Structure 1
Amino acid sequence: MLKPLGDRVVVTFDDVEEKSVGGFVLAGASHEATKAAQVVAVGQGVRTLNGDLVAPSVAVGDKVLVESGAGIEVKDGDEKVSIIRESDIVAIVE
């Protein structure tokens, strides 16, 4: 399992395939502004100039909306995950 540092968050993106009536996969999801993701791991937060620790706003298990194209994709075992900054998270889905 990956342990992110600082304000980084490890997420798995929800694969959403849009299909037409004939069963063809449409390539429309690649230009969306945001993507839905599940938080897998969270860093400890960032330190201010005073040295105070600011805890992250998200927790493991949260469903979030992430800006499209944010972060880097890595492979953790057999699973593909993305490492993003907390600032790339637009909203928590409740």
Structure 2
Amino acid sequence: MSLKPLYDRILVEPIEQEEKTQGGIFIPDTAKEKPMEGKVLAIGEGYRLENGQISPLKIQIGDTVVYGKWAGTEIKSNGKTLSIMKESDVLAIKSNN
């Protein structure tokens, strides 16, 4: 199944946090926080402006993004948990530097 987000929405695969801290302490599943960063798998065509034209998104497929803890809607696809959210829910794009 392939998903194509509509308009200004993006499809993100959350990046899970490490299972142990830098000090070597293992974090149980019940204490893990919801992921706040992920990889963009698909994007919509963009915002619809008042004049009817489409303004493209700034986020691109493959970007690693940081978003709010409760941003988007979780869905299951091919056994993976993914999130669909608006581009405005994204707080930052991580650079590879």
Q: For this structure pair, what is the TM-score category when the shorter chain's length is used for normalisation?
A: 0.7 to 0.9
Q: What CA distance in whole angstroms lies between the structure 2 residues aligned with 1:64 and 1:22?
A: 27
Letter of the 1:9 counterpart: I
The match for 1:76 is 77
Q: What's the TM-score once normalised by structure 1's chain length?
A: 0.85
Letter of the 2:43 counterpart: V
Deviation at residue 17 of structure 1 after TM alignment = 3.1
- Please list the CA deviations of residues 23-67 of structure 1 after superposition, one character each: whole Å capped at 9, or x if unmatched: 43152x527xx8111000000011111112110110110011111
Residue 27 of structure 2 is aligned with which of 17, 25, 28?
25
Alignment RMSD (CA, Å): 2.0
Deviation at residue 8 of structure 1 after TM alignment = 0.5
The match for 2:63 is 62
Three-state SS of the structure 2 residue aligned to 1:61 is coil
- Residues paired across the two proteins, number: 91
Whose strand fraction is larger, Structure 1's or Structure 2's? Answer: 1
Q: Which runs of 5+ in 1 are unaligned?
A: none
- Please list the CA deviations of residues 51-85 of structure 1 after superposition, one character each: whole Å capped at 9, or x if unmatched: 12110110110011111110111011122111011
The match for 1:13 is 14
Q: What's the TM-score once normalised by structure 2's chain length?
A: 0.82
Structure 1 runs of 4+ off > 4 angstroms?
Answer: 20-23
Q: What CA distance in whole angstroms lies between the structure 1 residues aligned with 2:52 and 2:80?
A: 35
